[in-house]
Structure 1
Amino acid sequence: MSTGLIIALVVIVAAVVVVAAALARRARGGNGGRNLRRRFGPEYDHVLARHDGDTKAADRELTERLERHGGLRERPLEPAERERFEARWAAAQEHFVDSPREAVAEVDRLIADVAGARGFPDGGQYEEQLAALSVHHAGNVQGYRRVHRAAATTGTAGDGSGADTEELRAAMLEARDLFADLTRSDQRAPVSHKAQRSHRPHLFQRHQVAGR
């Protein structure tokens, strides 16, 4: 076999190896992205939008969240703790009719307190607490984000009327799914969004928040 032929074969083999390695990396990245999308659901879309559609950046951020918080073990609530938290939610819900902004601010604090009691980072570290919650309660974490934003935003409708109140009500309604998830009696595994809608405690009924 001539030297030229040997060199040609070596070049071909090297090219095949390089292509195979590239395809393997792409396959691993694609599967990783699909796994992240499946795990995080709507939170994946939120992060992707924040990165202007850059899937690599979104995957990197969510992978980092998993590395930081994936090993967190949630502490079950004691019955007395759960009752106190549910009483606070009921009081905030009743208070919404007269003072919607104060009620939403209380719900924001309440979710932070419940999450802290379950073993998540302290509520004073909102971003870190939100990141940890997104790993374990991805389907409902948007409710916390929305109510926190609503609580921090100063509206123009100081009397609590019109569209401003509707936005606050919608934020509170969305936050109740995460609250229900964090305070449910069986805390061994996250509850699906569909299951929550069919098994919410009575204090989560929509008409109560709406003041009807």
Structure 2
Amino acid sequence: MTVLIVVIVVVVVLLLAGGGLVLARRKRSEQLQESFGPEYDRVLDRSGSKNEAEAELAERRKRHQQLDLRSLDPQTRERFRGDWKQIQGEFVDDPGGSVDKADSLVTTIMRERGYPVDDFDQRVDDISVEHPRVVENYREARRVRDAYRNGSAETEDLRGAVTSYRSLVDALLDEGGDGHDGGGSGDGRHREDDGRHRDEGRPVEGRRDEPRGAEGERAGQARQEREAGGPPADGAHDHDGSRR
């Protein structure tokens, strides 16, 4: 009987431990999916193993936490914004050169922020932790830049690359929250909210037109009275609301 009780206890403990492990793994998966968004699916498709993909993403996050990243002072940030405006302005005359300069500017900003920049693939992995939704833009922009250097990029490709670089520049210079674009303040929702608040301050069309309709009705009544030759009744008002 004692042996049976011991066996039952051991089995229960093992079941509880196994259930806890399953729940922990499920929670970890949910956190990684929420944090990395489309980057999670990309790594999963490439690796073919969920455990392998999640191990890689967890390692990226661990490495990112060890980086000595720093924010930019206002003067440096404005200087980089000015550099970007100049790059955009030069696109019409030199599309390929603009793409080259955009790529260099991104590397410079990352270096200023404290990212290691010696290896492109490592830069992409590091960026993906904070900016998982724009990191694919970075990959595509670099692909177009390489194609331009090989003489196989069209103007529209170059235009798209500049747009992709711009999304990353904006993310690196963003001052909203921690700049994370996976589901935090850097996902663009604050811009939508700003637009909604501006719309709320606009006059409603029906209300704006309503006084005109009332004035027009009063004006029509006054005109009918004048055409009939009768004086306005005591207390009547003109169409502008003034008392006669």
Identical-residue share of aligned pairs (%): 32
Q: Which amino acid in structure 2 is aligned with residue 137 of structure 1?
A: H
Q: Which amino acid in structure 1 is aligned with residue 163 of structure 2?
A: L
Summarize the Cα distance change of 1:58–1:25 in structure 2 as closer, same or farther, 3 Å threshold: same
Q: Which residue of 1 aligns with 2:94?
A: 99
TM-superposed CA distance for 1:169, in Å, is 2.1
Q: Which amino acid in structure 2 is aligned with residue 36 of structure 1?
A: L
Note if contact 1:75-1:118 (Cα within 8 Å) is conserved in structure 2.
yes
Which of 36, 41, 47 pairs up with 1:40?
A: 36
Q: Which amino acid in structure 2 is aligned with residue 138 of structure 1?
A: P
Which of 3, 10, 16 pairs up with 1:14?
A: 10
Cα distance in 1 for partners of 2:151, 2:100 equals: 16
TM-superposed CA distance for 1:187, in Å, is 6.0
Cα distance in 2 for partners of 1:137, 1:73 equals: 17
What are the residue-to-residue correspondences of 1:1-212 with 2, within 5 Å? 5-52=1-48, 54-121=49-116, 123-154=117-148, 164-184=154-174, 186=175, 188-190=177-179, 191-195=185-189
Summarize deviations over 1:96-154 as a string: whole Å, max 9, x none: 22332332222111111101111111x22222222222222233222222212221235
Summarize the Cα distance change of 1:198–1:91 in structure 2 as closer, same or farther, 3 Å threshold: farther
Cα distance in 2 for partners of 1:8, 1:169 equals: 74
Cα distance in 2 for partners of 1:56, 1:15 equals: 27
Cα distance in 2 for partners of 1:89, 1:76 equals: 18
TM-superposed CA distance for 1:32, in Å, is 0.5
- Equivalenced residue count is 188
Q: Which residue of 2 aligns with 1:207?
A: none
TM-superposed CA distance for 1:31, in Å, is 0.3
Normalised TM-score (structure 1):
0.75
Q: Which amino acid in structure 1 is aligned with residue 178 of structure 2?
A: A
Summarize the Cα distance change of 1:49–1:101 in structure 2 as closer, same or farther, 3 Å threshold: farther
Compare CA radii of gyration and give the structure with the larger one: 2
TM-superposed CA distance for 1:36, in Å, is 1.0
RCO comparison, higher one (Cα < 8 Å, 6+): 1
Of 174-183 and 146-155, the range deviating more from structure 2: 146-155
Normalised TM-score (structure 2):
0.66
Summarize the Cα distance change of 1:195–1:111 in structure 2 as closer, same or farther, 3 Å threshold: farther
Q: Which amino acid in structure 2 is aligned with residue 50 of structure 1?
A: R
TM-superposed CA distance for 1:39, in Å, is 1.3
Q: Which amino acid in structure 1 is aligned with residue 20 of structure 2?
A: A
